[in-house]
């Protein structure tokens, strides 16, 4: 049993009718999952009991988050920016290993942080054309991590699968009421496969593009989506044994068609 108290407080100041400033401070807690408590094992049995029990070995995670930002709107343009500072205690963090079930193995790290800025932009360039984009730039660090296998301690290292940059952009064009076309792109920077700061054990950065179209005729809508339009190589996640990188690839170019009937 866990008892969490998660207080939050925020304030918004409307400087002008179209400009707002805001600040928020809050705390949140998260309990370990079954997979966390079983260290990735599928079940708890006599053979694993000595290593896994008591189940209170994995502690709940606590986060304190401070955010400061602004929102503005002018004509067809709207934008927002948000700076955040997240401090974790006993974060239940991935360690770069995968269990036999395929799930990420996670353990507590005493202190870790995420500090960065998020930005969003939307522009109604024309009554038929909407352009949007967002990006997150972040510095993530684990204060101290000890590898149980080697006993080596690493300090001030980036955590597993936490890219420093994620950016998205989309254009949506509606030339007619019954037709919508969209093109989107997503860029993800490289990320670590282990909590040791080894620059060779990372997932490569990648950029993907998707294309979409939807046509409505009376009560029927046909939607066509082409994901990974340029058939790019991309790896959404992975793990390492300390010397070799293993990846979970993003699917190659994929076409999906959906028909929606209304009656």
**pLDDT band, residue 71 (cuts 50/70/90):** very high
**pLDDT band, residue 48 (cuts 50/70/90):** confident
Closest CA to 94 of 54, 145, 166: 145
109 prior amide bond cis, ω within 30 = no
Token digits for 31? 């309990």
pLDDT at 44: 79
Distances (CA, A) of 6 to 63, 187, 217: 9, 33, 49
148-153 own/partner pairs: CB under 8 Å, 24+ apart: 149/242, 152/196
Cα(101)–Cα(103) distance, integer angstroms: 6
pLDDT at residue 56 greater than cutoff 90: no
User: Quick one: average pLDDT of 21-44?
Assistant: 88
- The answer to whether residues 206 and 251 touch, using CB atoms and an 8 Å cutoff, is no
Positive or negative, the CA dihedral 10, 136, 112, 83 is: negative
Listed range (39-43, 115-119, 186-190, 238-242) with the worst mean pLDDT: 39-43
Cα(82)–Cα(72) distance, integer angstroms: 12
**pLDDT band, residue 18 (cuts 50/70/90):** very high
pLDDT at residue 41 greater than cutoff 80: no
User: Quick one: average pLDDT of 9-33?
Assistant: 96
User: Quick one: average pLDDT of 239-257?
Assistant: 92
pLDDT at 163: 96
**pLDDT band, residue 65 (cuts 50/70/90):** very high
Residue 248, CB half-sphere, CA atoms under 13 Å: how many?
12
Q: Provide the residue count of the chain.
A: 263
Over residues 142-189, the pLDDT tens digits come to: 999 988 778 889 999 999 999 999 999 999 999 999 999 999 999 999
Q: Where are the alpha helices (DSSP H) in the chain?
A: 34-37, 46-52
Token digits for 225? 């989506």
Token digits for 162? 């936490």
């Amino acid at each position: 049993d866990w008892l969490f108290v998660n207080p939050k407080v925020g304030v918004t100041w409307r400087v002008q009718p179209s400009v707002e400033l805001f600040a928020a401070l809050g705390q949140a807690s998260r309990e370990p999952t079954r997979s966390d408590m079983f260290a990735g094992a599928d079940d708890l049995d006599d053979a694993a009991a000595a290593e896994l029990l008591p189940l209170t070995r994995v502690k709940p995670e606590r986060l304190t988050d401070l955010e400061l930002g602004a929102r503005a709107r002018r004509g067809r343009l709207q934008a927002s920016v948000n700076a955040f500072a997240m401090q974790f205690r006993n974060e239940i963090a991935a360690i770069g290993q995968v269990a036999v079930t395929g799930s990420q193995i996670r353990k507590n790290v005493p202190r870790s942080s995420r500090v960065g800025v998020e930005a969003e932009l939307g522009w109604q360039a024309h009554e038929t054309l909407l352009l949007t984009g967002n990006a997150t730039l972040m510095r993530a660090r684990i204060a101290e991590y000890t590898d149980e296998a080697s006993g080596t301690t690493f300090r001030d290292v980036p955590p597993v699968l936490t890219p420093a940059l994620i950016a998205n952009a989309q254009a949506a064009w509606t030339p007619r009421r019954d037709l919508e076309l969209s093109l989107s792109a997503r860029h993800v920077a490289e990320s670590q496969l282990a909590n040791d700061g080894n620059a060779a054990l990372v997932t490569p950065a990648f950029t993907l593009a998707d294309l979409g179209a939807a046509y409505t005729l009376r009560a029927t809508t046909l939607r066509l989506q082409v994901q990974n339009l340029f058939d790019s190589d991309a790896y959404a996640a992975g793990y390492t044994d300390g010397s070799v990188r293993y990846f979970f690839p993003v699917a190659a170019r994929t076409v999906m068609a959906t028909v929606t009937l209304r009656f």
